[in-house]
Chain A
Amino acid sequence: MSSVALQPAPVAPGLTGDRATAAQPTQQYLLFCVGDETFALDIRPVREIIQYSALTVVPLMPDFVRGVINLRGAVVPVIDLQARFGRQRTEMGKKTSIIIFDVGPPEDRIEMGVLVDAVSKVVDLGAADIEPPPQFGATIAREFIHGLGKVDSDFIVILEPERALSVDDMVALSERQSVL
């Protein structure tokens, strides 16, 4: 499992230089692909990105729980983001990666991995570059969206991990499934 260092964050090529010089504070976001869509995630809770390698399947769990991996002695669950959004499971490819990040309330924070098709780059976005989630027309549930970030000329969905990957919600879903 080779890992990609994120800190200090290299400024991804193609980033607009003038934004960094602007006075408004910016925040770094990690861009990644799921299916043919690009999503963004606030980089602060992200710990590391690792290459996909074999994981251990935990039986009788919903589709979106792909299994667990050994992250330096800790057993970390891996969530399939594609399946979490109610789509097909992610097919393993060359660029399939696992983003490891912290999620959950401060008193009960856990490490979790999300399976994505590819990780592309890190961008800086200021508050002015982010628009509220759209009322309709989004491809995923509105509550999972933190906002729409303007990167170059595209709008990219910024995920709200505390909702999209809420442990409580996923536990509830798993329990419902195990009753069925």
Chain B
Amino acid sequence: MSRASDADQDFIAAAMPAFISEAGEQTEAIESLLLELEEQPDNRELLDSLFRCAHTVKGSAGIFGLNKVVEFTHHVETLLDKCRDGVLALTPQLSTLLLRCNDQIKNLVQMANDESADSAEQKSERAELVAQLRLYTEGSKQASPADAAHADAPDTADPPQAGPTLWRIKAQFGPETFRNGMDPLSIAKYLHGMGQVESMVCGWEKVPSLIDMDPEACYLSFEMALESSASRDEVQGAFSFVEDDCVLEISAQESKQQRLVHELEELPVTPRLGDMLVSVGAVSQDKLGELLTEQAQADQAKPKIGDLLETKAGVPPKVVEAALNKQQKTREASGEENRYIRVQADRLDAVINLLGELVIAGAGANLLAREARNVPLIEANLHINALIEEIRNGTLGLRMVPVGETFSRFRRVVRDTAAQLGKEVNFEIVGGEAELDKSMVEKIADPLMHLVRNSLDHGLEPPQERLAAGKLAAGKLVLSARHETGAILIRIEDDGRGINRERVLQRAWDKGLIEQGVVPSDDVIHMMIFEPGFSTAEQVTNLSGRGVGMDVVKRNIEALRGSLKLDSRPGQGLRVDIRLPLTLAIIDGFMVGVGKSKFVLPLGAVVEVIEAGGPQVRVDAQGRHVVELRGTVLPVVRLRSLYDIESTQPERTSVVVVQSPKGKYGIEVEVLHGQQQTVIKPLGRLFKSVRGISGSSILGSGEVALILDVGSLWDLATVSTSAPTSANDAG
């Protein structure tokens, strides 16, 4: 690979990101497989997939010339092979070692672009890991001295003894060879006697100019390819007299037949037998063509192409057999693997963007058709819109990935953190198959990680404490996901201490987050732990953060238009519910109008609508706008005055009652436009400071409507009504 031409280099540079991403997936798979194997150590299938993953990483790293990855992974692979053969059992210690090795592989892959990033520390850690791996692999077999000496060079591993081996021998004789009475030629002759010499080259690069030459010194070396059924020891035996004064390298290379068999196994998916054989060079394309015609012309009992290849083209039976095996495997695998197509995320995003525009354009055409009162046109448009809807749903579905992949990453975190803390934890994942938008999955990982760690760290008690409280010694932590009407519910549940309500309340009083002496509802108290600066200062709550506060968790989830809910049962556990929309691209909205402006409310937040003519908004004793609804008084946000919208106050207004994380409230509007599905368009950086608005949406008429964010709108309204200047609005 080091001699790769420029074109190769370009190709490698272009393909590198794909390799890194694929290797990343493989290492993730290795990790989850290892963890699964801990629970079911005898599962042969898992072990096989584990081996395959390691092998894939090694193989593709080889293509990119990433020798460090290849070398290191090779050791891992060797060990896994032993496990597969049943020589070694996958003990927890071994699994820990393999997990650490996997981390190293990950690091090495990450460094693929920048070899210099490899620190001395990492090198020494790798060396240590390799030493440990070797301890396992070599402890389990009769290590011959030759193997031990060559074990660090992966290529020298002897291939399984199936027929003669092609030995590649390189010998550089020391200068004293002749003086010691030895002759390289006699050794070469001896080797000739052991089998078939495929090639031999004499190296004379070391021979100096005549003036400097010592006539009695030996400067020669030779390289030989020897096909022989002799073992490595026997081959090495030929050099026994010169061993002390000779640099010797013996490596096994498969014989031609073995090479073909191996290459076939490594071959990418080609379903046709003949093609496979052509690509490894076992038969020429022309010959194959000839045989295929022959096969086609045979009237009855068509001969199998494999048999023809064997008899007519002289392909060794073993090679044909390997090709057939490969074909069989490919067929089995294609059921699984070929169902996936790798697509670049930005291409998919571009399609989804276009679809968003198509939805808008479709709505526009619909509107025009209605205005023109052209019934056939309206019907045609309805049909088109229905199709657009289907396409859109299908395309958005392409972005959906099972959330379980993210969940399984936590297995490792839970395992390691619990071990660190000296706690016992049974970690369960439920509903990992629930799907979520890919971009959401990526963004949800960090907040989830934080919540999981918090549960482990502060929620679950140490074993003794649990036993004393009459619980099982091992704590329970369940991460679950399920769909719930247009949203996904992710739940983190533990059976630990729960939130210490009194301490949180005390702390909130101290920090002035809640007025001294006021005791709000439990929900409000629990949500206090998500306030900025609440958990970081000192370990007052049993949910204090590490590094980032819980406020970041809340902010991240709200940025995804999600919501958080805590359910704490003191002494029995804590449940955190995270509700997220399935996608960030489209929203079911409820459109309202104030003056000339149009706003969209997320339909999920709308509880009910009080139409004009119902109970009217009035001003209560504190100067706040309220509306009475079935005996309860709801605060009302008056959009017109809050957003300073120019309009004449209409006689009657409608109120949309919405549910926000802070509770129910009403939004006073002038016109109700009704329900509408809209495509969300971000407002961009310039509008970063805008509050109460989460984005914009383009309507069928081409107008831009703003999407209201019920959570921050309420915050904004409470801030501005408490400010003395804008407390009242006389219309």
Complex Cα distance A178/B644, Å?
13
* Interface of B (DSSP majority class): mixed
Interface residues in A165-180 (C-beta closer than 8 Å to B): 167, 170-171, 174-175, 177-178
Contact between A57 and B689, CB atoms less than 8 A apart: no
- Chain-A contact segment, one of B175-183, B661-669, B679-687: B679-687
Contact between B696 and A56, CB atoms less than 8 A apart: yes
Complex Cα distance A65/B690, Å?
12
CB-defined contacts of A59 to chain B, threshold 8 Å? 597, 642-645, 690, 692-693, 706
Total interface residues on A, using CB and 8 Å? Answer: 27
- The residue of chain B having its C-beta at the shortest distance from the C-beta of A77 within the complex is B686
Complex Cα distance A177/B685, Å?
16
A11 at the interface (CB under 8 A from B): no
Interface 0/1 of A73-107, CB less than 8 Å to B: 11101000000000000000000000000000000
B705 at the interface (CB under 8 A from A): yes
B691 at the interface (CB under 8 A from A): yes
Complex Cα distance A82/B353, Å?
34
Complex Cα distance A170/B689, Å?
10
- The residue of chain B having its C-beta at the shortest distance from the C-beta of A175 within the complex is B689
Contact between A178 and B686, CB atoms less than 8 A apart: no
Complex Cα distance A55/B598, Å?
11
Q: How far is the CB of A27 from chain B (nearest CB, A)?
A: 28
In this complex, which of A54, A60, A177 has the most chain B Cβ atoms within 10 angstroms of its Cβ? A60
Contact between B684 and A110, CB atoms less than 8 A apart: yes
CB-defined contacts of A174 to chain B, threshold 8 Å? 686-690
Known: A56-B696, A59-B645, A68-B696. A75 touches B681 (CB 8 A): yes
A69 at the interface (CB under 8 A from B): yes
Q: How far is the CB of A130 from chain B (nearest CB, A)?
A: 29
CB-defined contacts of A46 to chain B, threshold 8 Å? none
Q: How far is the CB of A55 from chain B (nearest CB, A)?
A: 8
B623 at the interface (CB under 8 A from A): no
- The residue of chain A having its C-beta at the shortest distance from the C-beta of B687 within the complex is A58
Contact between A60 and B691, CB atoms less than 8 A apart: yes
B286 at the interface (CB under 8 A from A): no
Contact between A68 and B704, CB atoms less than 8 A apart: yes
Complex Cα distance A128/B619, Å?
67
CB-defined contacts of B682 to chain A, threshold 8 Å? 75
A16 at the interface (CB under 8 A from B): no
B702 at the interface (CB under 8 A from A): yes
Contact between B686 and A75, CB atoms less than 8 A apart: no
Contact between B696 and A75, CB atoms less than 8 A apart: yes
Known: A58-B683, A75-B684, A75-B698. A70 touches B690 (CB 8 A): no
B356 at the interface (CB under 8 A from A): yes
Contact between B704 and A69, CB atoms less than 8 A apart: yes
Q: How far is the CB of B569 from chain A (nearest CB, A)?
A: 40
Interface residues in B697-720 (C-beta closer than 8 Å to A): 698, 702-706
| Pairs of residues from A and B, 10 with the lowest C-beta to C-beta distance, nearest first | A59-B643, A73-B357, A56-B704, A175-B689, A174-B689, A75-B681, A178-B689, A77-B686, A70-B698, A75-B696
30 pairs of residues in contact across A and B, judged by CB atoms under 8 Å = A56-B597, A56-B703, A56-B706, A58-B683, A58-B687, A58-B690, A58-B693, A59-B597, A59-B644, A60-B691, A61-B690, A68-B687, A73-B353, A73-B357, A73-B698, A75-B681, A75-B682, A77-B687, A108-B685, A110-B686, A112-B686, A167-B686, A170-B686, A171-B688, A171-B689, A174-B687, A174-B688, A174-B690, A175-B688, A178-B689
